[in-house]
C-alpha cells in the first residue's frame, strides 16, 4: 500500500484552489466539505467535487474527500454525492471510535454496490481525536474496515474541551494534546495502518513546520497533513528518506541476509539487532512506495 507523506486540504467550493492543488505535488488531496465550506455552499461543493473527481489526473495525487461528522445532517448527503465519483478515500472527522468507521464502511458498501464500484475500493482516514471521548478508543482500531490512515486533530479537540489554547507560552503542545498525539501514533501502529501527523496551522512559519515534521518522523509518523500548498514540499522532503538513510538501511538488510540465523550483528562499529532490521525495512518500503 502506498505511503502518503502529505495530504493537502482543499476547499471543495473553490474552483481556483481546486485547479491549483493538482500541481502542488501532494501525495493526496483532501477535498473538503466540512470546516472549509460554509453550510449554505455544501450543495454546490458536492457538485464541484464530483466534477473534479471525474476529471482529475490521479497519477499526480490520490483524491480523498472530507465529509461532515456522522452525527450531522450533511454526512450522508456528502458521502452519497461523492461516492459515485469514486474518491480514493473518505476522511472522517469527529470520529469517536471504530464504530464510526464501521458505520461509514456500511454506507460505502451500499454505495459501491449501487454504482458498480469494486467493493472495498474507497478507503477511510479517521480523524480520531477531535472529541472528548475519542482518545479512549485509539487502541481499538485493529480490524476496522477500510481503515488506511489514522490521524489526530488538536484544534477541534481544544474546542471540545473548552481550552483557551492547546499550546503553552513557548509554542509547545500542552499535555492533553501531547497525549492525544502519542495515542494516535500507538493506535495506528497497533491497527497496522498509517499514522499521519496533524496540521501546522501557522502556514507562514516554515521553520516551525519543519521542526514538527522532524519530530513526527522521529517518533514514527509517516506523513503530515498540510493546510496550505506552500507546506507540501517541506513535508514531502521531511518524510522522504535521505540517500544516507537508504544506504544504511540497505547495509542492515544485507548484513542480516548474509547472517540469517543472527539475532544481533556489528555494523560500522555499532551493534544492530532485529528492531534495526524492522526499521530498515520500513525505510525501504517508503522508498518503494515512491511517496504514495
pLDDT values of the chain reduced to their tens digit, one per residue, 292 residues: 689 999 999 999 999 999 999 899 999 999 999 999 999 999 999 999 999 999 988 888 999 999 999 999 999 999 999 999 999 999 999 999 999 999 999 999 999 999 999 999 999 999 999 999 999 999 999 999 999 999 999 999 999 999 999 999 999 999 999 999 999 999 999 999 999 999 999 999 999 999 999 999 999 999 999 999 999 999 999 999 989 989 999 999 999 998 888 888 888 888 998 889 988 988 888 888 765 4
Look at residue 275 in the predicted model and tell me its pLDDT: 87
Domain map of the chain by residue range? Answer: 6-238, 243-289
Q: Are 110 and 79 in contact (CB under 8 A)?
A: no
Measured over all CA atoms, what is the biggest interatomic distance in the chain, rounded to whole angstroms? 64
Q: Are 234 and 197 in contact (CB under 8 A)?
A: no
The helix/strand count (H/E) of the chain reads as: 10, 10
Look at residue 104 in the predicted model and tell me its pLDDT: 98
Look at residue 287 in the predicted model and tell me its pLDDT: 84
Residues listed for the chain: 292
Residues classed as catalytic: 273
- Output phi, psi for 276, to 5 deg: -65, -40
- Cα-Cα end-to-end distance for the chain: 8
Look at residue 13 in the predicted model and tell me its pLDDT: 96
Reduce the DSSP state of residue 265 to 3 states and report it. strand
Report which of 105, 187, 94, 195 is spatially closest to residue 142, judged by C-alpha positions. 187
6-238 CATH choice from 3.40.50.2300, 3.20.20.60, 3.30.70.250, 3.40.50.970: 3.20.20.60
Look at residue 142 in the predicted model and tell me its pLDDT: 98
Report which of 152, 264, 157 is spatially closest to residue 219, judged by C-alpha positions. 152
Look at residue 160 in the predicted model and tell me its pLDDT: 96
Look at residue 1 in the predicted model and tell me its pLDDT: 65
Radius of gyration of the chain from its Cα atoms, rounded to whole angstroms = 20
Look at residue 187 in the predicted model and tell me its pLDDT: 98
Parallel, antiparallel, or unpaired: how do β-strands 123-127 and 147-151 relate? parallel
Amino acid at each position: 500500500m502506498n505511503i502518503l507523506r502529505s495530504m493537502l486540504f482543499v476547499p471543495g467550493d473553490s474552483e481556483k484552489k481546486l485547479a491549483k492543488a493538482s500541481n502542488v505535488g501532494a501525495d493526496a488531496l483532501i477535498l473538503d466539505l466540512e470546516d472549509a465550506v460554509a453550510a449554505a455552499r455544501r450543495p454546490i461543493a458536492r457538485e464541484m467535487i464530483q466534477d473534479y473527481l471525474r476529471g482529475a489526473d490521479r497519477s499526480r495525487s490520490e483524491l480523498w474527500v472530507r465529509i461532515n461528522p456522522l452525527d450531522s445532517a450533511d454526512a450522508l448527503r456528502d458521502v452519497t454525492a461523492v461516492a459515485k465519483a469514486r474518491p480514493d478515500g473518505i476522511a472522517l472527522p469527529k470520529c469517536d471510535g471504530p464504530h464510526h468507521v464501521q458505520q461509514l464502511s456500511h454506507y460505502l458498501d451500499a454505495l459501491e454496490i449501487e454504482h458498480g464500484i469494486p467493493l472495498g475500493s474507497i478507503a477511510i482516514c479517521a480523524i480520531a481525536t477531535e472529541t472528548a471521548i475519542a482518545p479512549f478508543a485509539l487502541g481499538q482500531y485493529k480490524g476496522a474496515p477500510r481503515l488506511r490512515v489514522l490521524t489526530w486533530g488538536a484544534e477541534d479537540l481544544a474546542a471540545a474541551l473548552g481550552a483557551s489554547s492547546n499550546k503553552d507560552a513557548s509554542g509547545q503542545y500542552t499535555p492533553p494534546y501531547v497525549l492525544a498525539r502519542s495515542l494516535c501514533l500507538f493506535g495506528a501502529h497497533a491497527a497496522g495502518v498509517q499514522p499521519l501527523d496533524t496540521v501546522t496551522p501557522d502556514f507562514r512559519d516554515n521553520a516551525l513546520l519543519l521542526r514538527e515534521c522532524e519530530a513526527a518522523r522521529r517518533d514514527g509518523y509517516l506523513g503530515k497533513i498540510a493546510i496550505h500548498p506552500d507546506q507540501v514540499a517541506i513535508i514531502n522532503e521531511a518524510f522522504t528518506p535521505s540517500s544516507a538513510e537508504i544506504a544504511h538501511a540497505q547495509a542492515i538488510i544485507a548484513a542480516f541476509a548474509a547472517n540469517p540465523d543472527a539475532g544481533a550483528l556489528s555494523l560500522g562499529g555499532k551493534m544492530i539487532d532485529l528492531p534495526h532490521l524492522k526499521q530498515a525495512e520500513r525505510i525501504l518500503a517508503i522508498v518503494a512506495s515512491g511517496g504514495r
